[in-house]
Structure 1
Amino acid sequence: MKAMILAAGKGERLRPLTLHTPKPLVRAAGVPLIEYHLRALTRAGFTDVVINHAWLGQQIEDYLGDGERFGLRIQYSPEGEPLETGGGIFKALPLLGVEPFVVVNGDIFTDYDFANLRRPLHGRAHLVLVDNPPHHPSGDFLLHDGQVADAVAGHASLTYSGIAVLNPALFAGCQAGAFKLAPLLRSAMAEGTVSGERFAGRWVDVGTHERLAEVERLLQDET
């Protein structure tokens, strides 16, 4: 099973840190955020990783190289223009192959064990969901008996963690260019082909300076 790390965002809310450094290389406790993912994927038994990039992407390639020092084989999917999540994954499909693959947002911090995802996928997607953080109280989706559905007002929802397993068939009929992933997921949910799980461990969407500081605190607590 291959894995893809989404690393094409500009990280505008983390300026000035991201003016001259791509968001995945912003450091927490002295280590670039993307490196925590690579270490975790290696521990989980993954060997092949695809990374897309756009803003200052050459810095990512220069720093990570071919992945050998992480015990990985890294391939890159550069984007000349922003393709959104769906378009970025679609562009990388030739590198990912025909089997289901793991996708991870490059701008989250988590202790989720990616080995949990190394199992057969029944359907078109499997999403890892977390309790709604303060900055996203309304959540995204419902989880019931292992199946994921679109959120409904008045029902307890969860937030998409940015971790999933996707079947390339999810992108059938898509065209090259910029498009979002969420509509594809919601279409598959309507057909009952999206499973999910709730993760209660450490998870931070590192989108602001305050949340980057939260990651620093979590890492300090480890030492």
Structure 2
Amino acid sequence: MKAIIFSAGKGERMRPLTLTTPKPLLVAGGKPLIVWHLERLAAAGFRDVVINTSWLGDQFEPALGDGSRWGLRLHFIDEGAVPLETGGGILNALPLLGDAPFLVVNGDVWTDVDFATLPKQPQGDAHLVLVDNPVQHPRGDFILRNDGTVSDAVDAPRLTYAGVGVYRPAILDGWRAVIGDTDGAAASPPQFGLAPLMRHAMATNRVTGQHHRGTWTDVGTPERLATLDATLTSDATRR
């Protein structure tokens, strides 16, 4: 299985830090956020990782090299000056990802999810990792049913999407009809989010999920980055 790490965002909530450094390259616990992902991907047996870039994208390859230090092959794909969003980013990267299911990881989260435990062949179009709702997102995103399917259709307790999931390329089938007539969809290459496609697949029970009860942080503000850094540094000192 190949993986893609979303790394193209501008990180506007993280300013002033992201005025000079793209968010996935910000350091916590002595290493960039994206390096934590790369280490876990290598440990889980992944070999090919796509990294999509836009904002300050020229910093990634000098910082990470070709991936050989982790036993990985890194494939950088530049989206240009305007990020293509999550759905457009995957569509743009499909020639590198291929026809098989692939893992998606947000570059601005930190988690101890064991990527090796995720299904290589999801039952439907996607398999999502969900976590308990953080303080900044108390309502959550989706409902995880007892049968393992994920829904957005009923008013029930929700969990938060962790920014980690396994997707089939089929999640993009008919994306124009789902996204509708928007300026982004008409752009070249197209710019659109993945969430509408996920909800479209959920409507026909084509999304499954699992509840991760381990550690997860959405590194969305400088304060959260500082807290994560302190925690990881303390953990390393105790070891």
Question: 2:149 is aligned with what amino acid?
Answer: Q
Partner of 2:186: none
**Which deviates more from structure 2 when the two are superposed, residues 40-49 or residues 9-18?**
9-18
Helix, strand or coil at the partner of 2:59: helix
Equivalent residues in 2 for 1:1-223 (5 A)? 1-80=1-80, 81-144=82-145, 145-150=147-152, 152-153=154-155, 155-174=156-175, 176-223=189-236
In the alignment, the residues of structure 1 paired with residue 194 and residue 87 of structure 2 have an alpha-carbon distance, to the nearest angstrom, of 4
| 8 Å CA contact retained: 1:139, 1:151 | no
Helix, strand or coil at the partner of 1:18: helix
Cα offset, 1:220, TM superposition = 2.5
In the alignment, the residues of structure 2 paired with residue 24 and residue 216 of structure 1 have an alpha-carbon distance, to the nearest angstrom, of 14
| 8 Å CA contact retained: 1:142, 1:157 | yes
Instruction: List structure 1 runs of 4+ shifted beyond 6 angstroms.
Output: none
In the alignment, the residues of structure 1 paired with residue 218 and residue 113 of structure 2 have an alpha-carbon distance, to the nearest angstrom, of 13
Q: Which TM-score applies when normalising by structure 1?
A: 0.96
Question: 1:146 is aligned with what amino acid?
Answer: G
Runs (5+) with no aligned partner, structure 2: 177-188
Cα offset, 1:179, TM superposition = 0.5
In the alignment, the residues of structure 2 paired with residue 110 and residue 218 of structure 1 have an alpha-carbon distance, to the nearest angstrom, of 13
In the alignment, the residues of structure 2 paired with residue 94 and residue 173 of structure 1 have an alpha-carbon distance, to the nearest angstrom, of 17
Runs (5+) with no aligned partner, structure 1: none
| Alignment root-mean-square deviation, CA | 1.2
**Which deviates more from structure 2 when the two are superposed, residues 155-164 or residues 206-215?**
206-215
In the alignment, the residues of structure 1 paired with residue 136 and residue 153 of structure 2 have an alpha-carbon distance, to the nearest angstrom, of 17
Cα offset, 1:214, TM superposition = 2.1
1:179-209 deviation digits (Å, cap 9, x = unpaired): 0100000000001110000000000000101
Cα offset, 1:14, TM superposition = 1.3
Helix, strand or coil at the partner of 1:98: coil
Q: Which TM-score applies when normalising by structure 2?
A: 0.90
In the alignment, the residues of structure 1 paired with residue 130 and residue 231 of structure 2 have an alpha-carbon distance, to the nearest angstrom, of 20
1:83-132 deviation digits (Å, cap 9, x = unpaired): 11111111001100000000000000011100012532211000000000
In the alignment, the residues of structure 2 paired with residue 222 and residue 3 of structure 1 have an alpha-carbon distance, to the nearest angstrom, of 28
